[in-house]
Structure 1
Amino acid sequence: MKKITLERLLYRKYLKTSFISILFIGLFLISFYFIVNKNVVNKSKELILNNLETFVALMVNNQTKIKTEQFLEYLSSKTFPYDGKILIFDEKGKIEFVDEEIKKLLKINEQDNILKNSNYKINYYFKDIIDEKRIDKIVLENKNYLLFPKKISNSSFYLVCIVDEKNILKEINTLIEYCKNLEYVLITGILIFYLLSFFYISFNAKNFVYKINKPLSKIVAFTKVYGKKDTPLELEPCGIFEIDSLSSNFKKMLEELDNRTKKLIIEETKRAYHESLANTDALTGVYNRRYLYTFSEQYLKIVKRENKNLALLILDLDDFKKINDTFGHEIGDLVIKQLVEIAKNSIRENDLIVRFGGDEFIILLPNTQIEQAKTVALKIIDKIDEYNKDKEFNFTISVGVSSYQKGDETIDNLISRADDALYQAKKLGKNCIV
């Protein structure tokens, strides 16, 4: 699984959510604009047509107050909106008044009958007007013309106002062009707003993520060095309740862990100290008889299972009582300590020295044959002889050697044979090895 830092994750999520929100807002504004724009254009067109139709109706309704001849004369001099031209005919299609441009457009004269025009489409259109069917548009010479028909009340005349569609749509097209320009301004404004939002949100996102990630990063960094360096954890509040609570709880946890660790160290130190007192000799610091039996019980199992060698030396000071009686117990203790020091310098690190009695010591030599053990014993005796030179008091030792044999169940079997050998060394005049 690909790993990602919390800082990058939060930053991405924050930007993604913000930009999606802004994108939807922009799309909504653009969609809303186009819907409104389309409705405005349609409503404007509808309003213009309704106004023109109302104007024609008002013009016709005025006829009820004047005579027909005067009305026709009035209409001929009247200018209609959007350069509209009029045609008046009766219910039989006889033309009563026609504008000059309409004459050319329909190819008629004032004496003609509109219903007997050579163009059957014109006949069809005007017949529908007489039948009071709604006709809104007519196509003449590949141009669209809007028709605004109105029956003159209390007469058999029909008035039709004919307007070139381009004249009406001219203002609508101007409005459409204006709206298009407004679209470009709106889209440009949204893009600029989007870019400004990008920098603003990006800046805030970094600050927001940094605010969250700073204490968490300190906690992560501290966990790497905790226990190696005595560095205090300093966490400043970031103002976010959950993060501040985590920082506070983590600090309390570390304090509690430190307290428990200190208590554990003290307890472990005490236990190790008491165990050391129980297993070591107070005068020499080497292991005592109790530890010998505890250790040898487990180690002999390894020796038996893996068929390893094990040798044992018993060292006994010669005439130690005489040393105590002649020089005193302080010198006697010094002799014992010096023997231990010489023995330690003569054996390996993993060999074991045990104070078995008052002036008697056992040395366990793992992975050692009996002849090698005698060499070690001889080395100790030689070092003692070297130590005795130019000393006010001298001491010697006798050594009994034994090794593990099949059938030995406990360390006592080795000790017994080594003790017998020590007895022989004493009989041979002491200061020797058997």
Structure 2
Amino acid sequence: MPTGIMTTLAADKPVLDTGHTAFMLISAALVLVMTPGLAFFYGGMVRVKSVLNMLMMSFISIAVITILWTLYGFSEAFGTDHGGVIGGTDWLGMRHIGIAELWPGYGIPIYVFAAFQLMFAIITPALISGALADRVKITAWTLYIALWATLVYFPVAHWVWGSGGWLYKFGVIDFAGGTAVHINAGAAALGAILVIRKRVGFNKDPMRPHNLPLVMLGAGLLWFGWFGFNAGSWLGADGVAGAAFTNTQVATAAAMLGWLGYEKLRHGSFTTLGAASGAVSGLVAITPACGSVSPLGAILLGIVTGVICAWAVGMKFKLGFDDSLDVVGVHMVGGIVGSLSIGFLATGGVGQTAKGLFYGGGWDQLGKQCVGVAAVLVYSLVVSGLLAKGIDMVMGFTVTEEVEVSGIDSAEHAETGYDFAGIGSAVRSALASVDTNTADKSPKVDA
């Protein structure tokens, strides 16, 4: 998050800026759209018998995290600092917030800032769900994300974006969530999948996406919403927000090309799944850096990220961890690449004054970025793994292998994503009707 958009009076006291406020409300809505987009993106990549469970894992995050954010999450993340680690109890239950009270230093109401940040809190645990596809109880998942948000996301958001957060004060740059969102979620996914069982048939049976058009639709919604995610993180509508918007588009396009190029050389084909995954990897990588790099730097970052993430997703088979939909390879690895790129590509002339190594800034900023990456990755990995293990021991994190094989949608939700029997019956009835109506009938000629 930035440090300084405001509309001022003569005494430099911030006043309400309706333009910035409108921009932030629209940005918040765009970020919310990303979670249903993520549900479609993930939902299309699983098998037919798991699609509803996959969709539900994202949608339940909207409900659970919204309530927790209102009760204590916003206060925990952005309340009065305590030791650089956690916020205070200032806004428990969203109390003590005046309707016209502005976020300190900005021309937008606290309520608007809180709503914008809520959408980040919602999508971050939803990102984890892709690593656990096909095998997780919805009750266990709901408990997991509630505990994870409380113990991991809210504190880490304070570290990175809170005015007294220790990483913020240390000088780590994370414009819109490379560490707090993507490395955090990717490390959590890795921690969870290391302690729960693998899918039945992992690395043996084909587990192809059941609906690639749904994947492409989800990727498109993510791309669309990401402009609010990144440009909105400047907390105002001006040239820096425009640069973040532009860098987001440029890096995403470059990453798609980088992924597809690697895929063509490695496997001989340009796939739609590769295009969608490459685009998402670019969105991930540019997130922390969109307020620091130039458009040319965004192109370089995008290409490099697309190639590295395309390579990384294949490592799960060699290393033996069952990351169902490549959350580790795309979000954790992409977040690391994007966060560290600031230490090389930051120009010092966009939304941040710090310069990277390629612009004469030396090694200082790169060192700070390394500290931020390592701190968030290790903390999230360890705590997330312990949470998953604890839930697995107490109530069982996954469904039985029999339920997984027969279909988690029917067992967990008493529904199926597609009524094939009904469709088949309707088609047969229609064909029978056509045959009956056309049999032994000669064409009529008007007089």
For the superposition of Structure 1 and Structure 2, which TM-score range results when normalised by the shorter chain?
A: under 0.3
Q: Tell me which protein shows more strand as a share of its residues.
A: 1
Pick 1 or 2: higher relative contact order, CA cutoff 8 A, min separation 6. Answer: 2
Q: Give me the TM-score of the superposition, normalised by structure 1.
A: 0.21
Structure with larger Rg:
1
Q: Give me the TM-score of the superposition, normalised by structure 2.
A: 0.20
